[in-house]
Every structure is written in structure tokens, then in C-alpha cells.
Structure 1
Amino acid sequence: MTVFLRTERLALRPFTTADADHLFALDNDPEVMRFINGGRPTTLEAIRTRTLPRLLHDHPCWENRGFWAAEERATGAFLGWFEFRPLDDNDPATVELGYRLNRASWGRGYATEGSRALIDKGFTELGVESVTANTMTVNAGSRRVMEKSGLLFLRSFTGDWPEAIPGSEHGEVEYLLTRADWQRRRPGDAEGASE
């Protein structure tokens, strides 16, 4: 299978319909889904009819996907997924960054490693001008990954939750990284090196 991106420890590849069982296991871990839907279970039917079509969508501006299955290079184990998709199907200027990894992957730096690699690829190869990401205000782990990946806090806001979950009363946060900010922070850049 074609790999979209390799890092030191990760391989990011396009999803296939054969990933349904991996996604089912991932989305049925209450801790993984705690800040997504409050930890409620997902049916295999929902994975096949709602989740997979979204993950298999090709974006015309890239002629490629916006969601990538993450595997550990050393073992081939499925770890979860990364989102790096244009907000407008026909314009790669602004992309949304996201990640959902299984609990066994937490605390190992995979989310930051994959996010940084996607950001670098976006700015160097894909015509990206800005990367945005958001999460619940109380999701400290996800916020740390955003910050370690170079994104800067932009704003707090209150979204419309179809069904309130614990912590949603505190609202959400949005982070942003522009091409200009990314360039200033690149290794070897005099200004970025002093930070």
C-alpha cells in the first residue's frame, strides 16, 4: 500500500474499507472518545456508513485524502489516525489538523511526531498557508500536542454540542499556525533558533 508520509516511527497511509475493525476498536474505547462524544460506544454499522466514507474522501485540490491511518513502522500496528484536510475541498490554503490515537500510543510522542511531519509537508509540498486545530478547553493532552507542534492559541469559543458531554460547559479552544510563523520557527533560522 502507498504510504503518504513516513516519520522516524510512523507510517501514515490512506484508509481502506479493511480498516473498519481497527476504527471500531478505536472508537469504542471510552477514554479515546471522552472528549469527542463523552465515551459513548459506536456501532460497526456507523463506522461503515458514516466514519469510513468521511475518511476515504479525496479532496480535489490535492487529489488525495485528508485522513491518514497511522501505523507503527517497527511493528505495522494500527495506532489510530491523523487528520490534515483542507477546509475547502478546492483550496488547500487552510487545513484542519486532528488526531485520534489508541490509548497504548498515548504519552509516547506519536501525536506530536505525526502532527509536525504533516505540518512540514503541508507548508513545503501541499500549498498550505495556515493550519488550524480545535479541541475542548478541558482536553489538556490534545492542547499540549497542538502547542508542541507549533500551533499558537487563537481563541476560546462556545460551540453547539448536539448533546452536552462532561467538560463541554467550558467551551472549546482554537489554535493556529501560519506559514509565516512556521518559517520563523524552522531549525536553522536565526530568529527561530533564539526562541
Structure 2
Amino acid sequence: MSQVILRTERVHLTPQSDEYLEYQVELDADPEVMRHLGGARSREQVEAALRGNLADADRAVGLGYWAGFVEGHFVGYWILRPPGPVDQEPVAGQGELGFKLLRRYWRQGLGSEGSRELLRHGFEDLGLSRIGAMTGAANTASRATLAALGLRYVREFQADAADFPPGADPRTVEYAITQEQWHAVRSA
């Protein structure tokens, strides 16, 4: 199974491709969107990131990166990628969840909605056993979203400071949910 198109009530998630470069440039150029992700990126940095994302998506069947649209308008990106560095073999049965939205779509429940569908896809369609997520320790909005989705706090650690601009906070937190925990959350 290659990466599939996914839909929720409002969000249409389509596999990331070169045709969505301009959307990613807009998203990653916003310093507020990128505040907890190492800072705003130049076009060249976004182009390199896109190439890396597309290569990363090829590491595990069904996992990857999705562009999200609401009523035909780009709203952001969601990921359910193989965890770990791109140059390593993916951990079987695991995925890493993430999302980032254009500011004008914040606080509308879209991050949760798209992420909930990726959790469903990961556990039901792909049979994953565990899905993790990482965010900046100071990113209270993303942390609240992850907790509301049923992911549990695992740990805090220092990310590589070289990936952040001077003065930025490299503290990172990890959350995770197992397939069994996800089924329990859905049943509640």
C-alpha cells in the first residue's frame, strides 16, 4: 500500500508532492508557525526539506506526509512518518505523528481532526502498534492537542541545539499512544 488519500468531515489529506511546494514555503516562512520547530525557513531550506520528506515517506509503506485542504484551501501539513533518522531502518510497527497549520486555521480543531484520522489510519489500516509525537516543551497548544488525542507524556529531552536559532529553546517532549490505548480512548 502506498500513501493513500484520507478524508475527515472537513479535512482532505492528500500525499505531499512537489506540486505543493508553494504551500510549504508559505507555511514554513511564518516565524510563529515555526517558533517551536527551529525558526522560519528560507525557500531553499523548504525545498531541501520537501526532498527529504519525500525520501522519508519512501522508507515505510503507507507512512508519509500529507497536505491538508478544507473546501479546496490549503490549511497545513500532517505527518505519520517512520520514527527515527532518515538514514536508519524504520522501527517496524511504529509511526511518528505531527502537524503544522497556517496561523489563520489555528484554534478551529483542524489539527486534532487530521491527526485523529492519521491515528486511525496508522492503527486500523497499517496495523501499527505504537505512534509517538514530539513537540517543543514550551508548545502548550500542541501538547494539549496531543493529550486530547489520547497520547501520553513519555519524556522531556534536549534536542540538538544546532537545529535551532541562537536563543531558541531546544527542550523537546515526547508523547505516545499504543494501539490498545487508542482503542480504549475510542471506546470511552
Structure-2-length-normalised TM-score: 0.87
Structure 1 pair 82/122, CA: closer, same or farther in 2 (3 Å)? same
User: Is 1:85 equivalent to 2:59 in the alignment?
Assistant: no
Partner residue of 2:102? 102
Structure 1 pair 164/26, CA: closer, same or farther in 2 (3 Å)? closer
What is the alpha-carbon distance in structure 1 between the residues aligned to residue 166 and residue 115 of structure 2? 26
For the residue of structure 2 that corresponds to 1:68, the secondary structure is strand
1:165 to partner: Cα distance: 5.2
Q: Deviations over 1:63-99 (max 9, x none)?
A: x451000111xx2001110010122655541110000
1:136 to partner: Cα distance: 1.2
What is the alpha-carbon distance in structure 2 between the residues aligned to residue 34 and residue 7 of structure 1? 28
Q: Deviations over 1:80-125 (max 9, x none)?
A: 1001012265554111000011001100000001111110111111
What is the alpha-carbon distance in structure 2 between the residues aligned to residue 135 and residue 47 of structure 1? 19
Higher relative contact order (CA 8 A, sep 6+): 2
What is the letter of the counterpart of residue 142 of structure 1? S
Whether contact under 8 Å (2:59, 2:82) holds in the other structure is no
What is the alpha-carbon distance in structure 1 between the residues aligned to residue 19 and residue 38 of structure 2? 24
Could you say which structure has the larger radius of gyration? 1
What is the alpha-carbon distance in structure 1 between the residues aligned to residue 137 and residue 157 of structure 2? 9
Identical counterparts, % of pairs: 34
Structure 1 pair 101/166, CA: closer, same or farther in 2 (3 Å)? farther
1:139 to partner: Cα distance: 0.3
For the residue of structure 1 that corresponds to 2:36, the secondary structure is helix
Give runs of aligned pairs for residues 17-56 of structure 1, distance below 5 A.
17-38=18-39, 40=40, 42-48=41-47, 50-56=48-54
User: Higher mean Cα deviation, 158-167 or 109-118?
Assistant: 158-167
Which stretches in structure 1 are left out of the alignment for 5+ residues? 188-192
Structure 1 pair 32/87, CA: closer, same or farther in 2 (3 Å)? same
Dislocated runs of 4+, deviation >3 Å: 88-92, 163-167
For the residue of structure 2 that corresponds to 1:113, the secondary structure is helix
Partner residue of 1:113? 113
Alignment RMSD (CA, Å): 2.0
Give runs of aligned pairs for residues 1-195 of structure 1, distance below 5 A.
4-38=5-39, 40=40, 42-48=41-47, 50-57=48-55, 58-62=57-61, 64-72=62-70, 75-87=71-83, 91-162=91-162, 163-164=164-165, 166=167, 168=169, 171-187=171-187, 193=188
For the residue of structure 1 that corresponds to 2:37, the secondary structure is helix
Structure-1-length-normalised TM-score: 0.84
